[in-house]
Structure 1
Amino acid sequence: MVTNALELKNVNSYYGDSHVLYDLSLDLEEGTLLALLGRNGAGKTTLMKTISGLLTPKSGEILLFGKNIAKEKPEVIAKAGVRLVPQGRRIFPSLTVEENLLVAEQKRPIKAMWNLKRVYELFPQLEVRIKQRAGTLSGGEQQMLAIGRALMGNPDVLLLDEPSEGLAPLIVAEVARGIELIKNEGLSIILVEQNFQLAMSVADNVVVLNTGEIAYQGPAKDVHENPELATKHLGVF
């Protein structure tokens, strides 16, 4: 029996009077990775903010394992098991690598608990820089730190907003490796990504947004067999 980690039902989100998400409905199956694709301005980051509580939807339901969290505050949603790695990383630059990780630590009953040791195993570069201030890290290391910080909250659902943005190809490959390992442990993930090849290398299912509405959704294997299903909504890749 399929269990949905997240279900969005007819979600409408606004910035002031500007309607951004229109009756949006999608499911994130437990233990899978959903790639959320779309052009700039399609509503991808708005959706991530809506799920994580940074933006309260005007209407609709957001069900986390069946419980509606649509009107909850961000800290309540985080404690319930949803963690966001925001676009632009937003690590604490004046804190060390280890302090950034420890400040986000939350012990929750998940299948494989995350702690400092496991984060360093996932991203060995971080262990080398334990006492280094996060603001002095490279962009790739900061992205690894942002992902590690979210994992320290031991989430059931991980939201990744543009993790490859601004990174060199070798670092993108390292981040992709980390995402694949996390997914294989059974974590449920929504990945917003402009890098189509990266997204398709890890995705189980695909949703394409276009001006706040779903233009396409389906299994990643269908997109592998016929990339035009998704790319016709995205521009040139």
Structure 2
Amino acid sequence: MGRKLQSRERLRPIDLARGHGLSTQAVRNYEEAGILPAADRTPHGYRTYAPLHARALRTFLALVPGHGHRTATSIMRAVNRGEADEAFRLIDESHAQLLDDRRTLRAVENALRDLASTPGPGTVAPGSGGMFVGSLAGRLGIRPATLRKWERAGLLHPRRDPLTGYRVYDEADVRDALMAHQLRRGGYLLEQIAPLIARVRSAGGLEPLEATLRDWHDRVAARGRAMLAGAAELEAYLHERG
């Protein structure tokens, strides 16, 4: 690596910053953070960089969209310390997270597909416009205690009948219970299901959620492509470091 850094071509901080929309202070910050190798210094103490630093900067900026700023920083630090195996481990973790996101997205889509093909709410509590806990539990083939557990976990929000105090599940609650049931059968934990159901609620139901799912798909795909682009730059940087 030393031979690479001693290239006759010298670059100033502004040379690295120009073209990336960065300030010279950002370049210096990246060096201090270990994202760039340490710069040489002139007799007057000014930083001078080499083409390898420019490659390191391109690599870091290419890694960020796929891995995030923190992980991209850790990857570059590991590479610059000569710990390629640690960098590869970090990359593997990011890919594992992306795969988990894909699986979660698929599970949500499957659950919603099942809901779309499911008949209407079924037994409705007389005069309440909803279902009592026993009816809903019977429909799902689970115990009423399970529904109460889901409520404590924040998955369901039934109202109380003003006369009897019984839980009453409206149409949205039934939908959420059906979705929770599908995801639980798929092996998802309650703490994993809660934010997904919250996403359905915030979208205002299943139909508005389609746009959210498309956006989710786009973001997962974009992250996958960004990881490929980052991997190409990292391979070039590793090759140039020697």
Q: How would you bin the TM-score normalised by the shorter chain?
A: under 0.3
Relative to total residues, which structure has the larger strand share, 1 or 2? Answer: 1
Pick 1 or 2: higher relative contact order, CA cutoff 8 A, min separation 6. Answer: 1
Query: TM-score, normalization: structure 1?
Result: 0.23
Q: In proportion to residue count, which structure has more helix?
A: 2
State the structure with more CA Rg.
Answer: 2
